[in-house]
């Protein structure tokens, strides 16, 4: 990597959608030469991708949420036994009822279900 590659990287870091023609003008190379350098930077892994930065419009409401999953390991019955429970209409004792609950040991426990 030389100084021209660094200049190309600097320009792409500022605007990843900058046209190759504009980059070529700024680094005093031809467009095919810049395209070739960009392709080499990509294949060498120096450029691993391009991103989009989104701005949130001010006229919308956004909710940031922290999701703290809790899970329990279950021993589920054999598939045939599960069919027997389902066909009998009986609740399966191995599958707990789903709900939204906080564990008392959780730091945000309020004592009330969600």
In order of 1, 4, 11, 15, 103, the CA distances from 46 in angstroms are: 10, 14, 14, 16, 46
**Rounded-to-integer distance, Cα 16 and Cα 12, Å:** 4
**In b/e form, how buried is each residue of 41-66, taking b as 16+ CB within 10 angstroms?**
beeeeebeeeeeeeeeeeeeeeeeee
**Rounded-to-integer distance, Cα 6 and Cα 13, Å:** 10
pLDDT tens, 31-51? Answer: 999 999 999 999 999 999 888
pTM of the model: 0.49
The model's confidence at residue 58, banded by pLDDT at 50, 70 and 90, is confident
């Amino acid at each position: 990597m030389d100084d021209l590659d660094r200049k190309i990287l600097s320009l792409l870091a500022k605007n990843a959608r900058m046209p190759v023609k504009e980059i070529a003008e700024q680094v005093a190379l031809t467009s095919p030469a810049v395209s070739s350098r960009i392709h080499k930077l990509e294949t060498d892994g120096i450029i691993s991708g391009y991103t989009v930065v989104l701005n949130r419009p001010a006229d919308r409401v956004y909710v940031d949420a922290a999701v703290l999953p809790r899970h329990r390991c279950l021993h589920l019955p054999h598939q045939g036994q599960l069919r027997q429970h389902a066909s009998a209409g009986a609740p399966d004792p191995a599958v707990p009822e789903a709900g939204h609950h906080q564990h008392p040991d959780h730091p945000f426990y309020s004592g009330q279900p969600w």
